[in-house]
Structure 1
């Protein structure tokens, strides 16, 4: 995940999500936060396809897109946990912040 995050700008920190979201104002209770872990199973082509849907990829110039594709394929071909695998699990953490209307 660390290598994929560097290449594909995926991931984020769950550290103190509520403080980053801020106060919703007097009409709402203080913000609550939760983190939900889950995973999805992908093929190498599905991972590349997923990255190609991200805004930073879509807005990149053609040269940067080629670089991203090359970096992803290199990761998929050489990383010991991914090389030669037809499918793999991609872990996710969904960060949730909510406040209730008073």
Structure 2
């Protein structure tokens, strides 16, 4: 819980540094759903893609500072403080519930019944993650420095276990690149929960070690702009 709520302290950095989601990936995730609940919406990275797809979106997140950033990024989207285990909207009120980089923060045995409650019959639960593709050697080394939990070659199936009353899980993958400055990459590191909750000494050590890597690794040494490869993995299941 401490890690999940820590993002409020770095909400503006989070939004400025984190990548968005490929619109074609999100189009697959939600199908023909028109009214969509973005659960654990954070600063609105997934919300932006949903709005680009011209969907009617409601954003729910437990951290007020994150929703304040969402209002700046995506003005006019209804913002509600709430959690996956206690969703403050009516029964049968949305066609899809989506969660971007958030399912691993939920308590599934409490969240799944709540998500089923707010979904209309036949509605979709869509889960999506952006992962840096650590088959690139410099990113693999950066991930070790950052205490990366997952890389793009890791499977998410161990914790994407939805179960009843949802049907089988479908999966879709999109590979892409995000171009970013060196300073933005370091801000991306600063937006991670591990970094935010670390001591000032640990934070300084992490940034210094990454700066050395960016100065010396032959794939990126001297580069002011980095081409960061990503894999977006999408999972969806339909309410029976």
Shorter chain as denominator, the TM-score bin is: 0.7 to 0.9
2:48 alignment counterpart: none
2:145 alignment counterpart: 7
Distance 1:65 1:14, change over 3 A: same
Distance 1:17 1:69, change over 3 A: closer
8 Å CA contact 1:31, 1:98 repeated in 2: yes
Give the Cα separation in 1 of the matches to 2:192 and 2:175. 21
| Deviation readout 1:41-100 (Å, 9 max, x if unpaired) | 111111111110111100000110011011110011000011111212001112221101
Give the Cα separation in 2 of the matches to 1:16 and 1:45. 29
4+ residue stretches of structure 1 with deviation over 6 A?
none
8 Å CA contact 2:152, 2:230 repeated in 1: no
**Ranges in structure 1 where 5+ consecutive residues have no aligned partner:** none
**Ranges in structure 2 where 5+ consecutive residues have no aligned partner:** 1-138
2:229 alignment counterpart: 91
Higher relative contact order (CA 8 A, sep 6+): 1
Match of 2:180 among 28, 37, 42: 42
Aligned residues: 101
TM-score for the superposition, normalised by structure 2: 0.39
8 Å CA contact 1:24, 1:99 repeated in 2: no
Q: How far is the alpha carbon of 1:18 from its aligned partner? A: 3.6
Q: Tell me the SS of whatever aligns to 1:80.
A: coil
